[in-house]
Amino acid sequence: MKKRGFALWLFIGLSLAASVYYFAEAGQAIRSWTLLTIMQYRFGPLYPVFQGMLLGLGFLATVVWLFRRNPVSLWLGSLFAVLSVLWHWLDRLIFSLNPLPVLQQWFPIAFSLLLLGLVLGGLWSLAPDMVSSALANEENISHSSSQGGDHES
């Protein structure tokens, strides 16, 4: 089995950092529950807890699947990268109490799309490093038979 390359470790680290960030966001909402209730936070304090837990668990699952070099990680990582960017912009443009017009936010939107494109492109460039389950089973079978497993005499 090949060693994990730098790009794979980079995306594992980025996904882990995103997971920690979203879990911390959920934790902060739980610690500030009373304050958020008094301020009548939009959608209630459960909204940031749900958002943080959903995206945190999604990125954590991506870390696990990336570490195992499973091709599912590419789809999962892409899904949660797109979901986090969409969620951020929905919060900023639609759910905000005082949203700025979209025309005044063209640079941050373009920058977000550029970063998203780089993340998705980099993530999918890892496809050759991913191990399919059929190949992994074939390697395990050939590895056990080459070690002098059970022989019929």
Q: Report yes or no on 140 lying in a domain.
A: yes
Q: Report yes or no on 136 lying in a domain.
A: yes
Distances (CA, A) of 2 to 8, 23, 122, 142: 12, 32, 19, 16
User: Average pLDDT, stretch 25-36?
Assistant: 92
Q: Report yes or no on 91 lying in a domain.
A: yes
Is residue 48 over pLDDT 60?
yes
Is residue 153 over pLDDT 50?
no
78: domain range?
6-146
Q: Report yes or no on 29 lying in a domain.
A: yes
Residue with the bigger pLDDT between 96 and 63: it is 63
| Structural contact between residues 26 and 48, judged by C-beta atoms closer than 8 angstroms | yes
Structural domains in the chain (count): 1
Measured between its terminal Cα atoms, the distance across the chain in Å is 31
| Structural contact between residues 66 and 80, judged by C-beta atoms closer than 8 angstroms | no
Is residue 106 over pLDDT 50?
yes
Q: What is the pLDDT of residues 31-42, one digit of tens each?
A: 999 988 888 877
Distances (CA, A) of 86 to 23, 70, 98, 109, 150: 18, 25, 18, 11, 54
Q: Report yes or no on 153 lying in a domain.
A: no
Most confident of 14-23, 44-53, 64-73, 133-142: 14-23
As given in the structure block, the two tokens for residue 72 are 């599912």
Rounded CA-CA distance 34/115 in Å is 35
| Structural contact between residues 31 and 54, judged by C-beta atoms closer than 8 angstroms | no
**In this structure, what are the phi and psi dihedrals at residue 127, rounded to the nearest 5 degrees?**
-55, -40
Is residue 147 over pLDDT 80?
no
**In this structure, what are the phi and psi dihedrals at residue 33, rounded to the nearest 5 degrees?**
-55, -50
Q: What is the pLDDT of residues 70-105, one digit of tens each?
A: 999 999 999 999 999 999 999 888 887 777 787 888
- Report the predicted TM-score, pTM, of the whole model to 2 decimal places: 0.79
C-alpha atoms less than 13 angstroms from C-alpha of 30 in its C-beta half-sphere: 11
CA neighbor of 70 nearest in space, from 82, 62, 78:
62
User: Average pLDDT, stretch 44-54?
Assistant: 92
Split at pLDDT 50, 70, 90, the class of 10 is very high
What is the predicted pLDDT for the residue at 76? Answer: 94
Q: Report yes or no on 1 lying in a domain.
A: no
User: Mean pLDDT across the chain, nearest whole number?
Assistant: 85
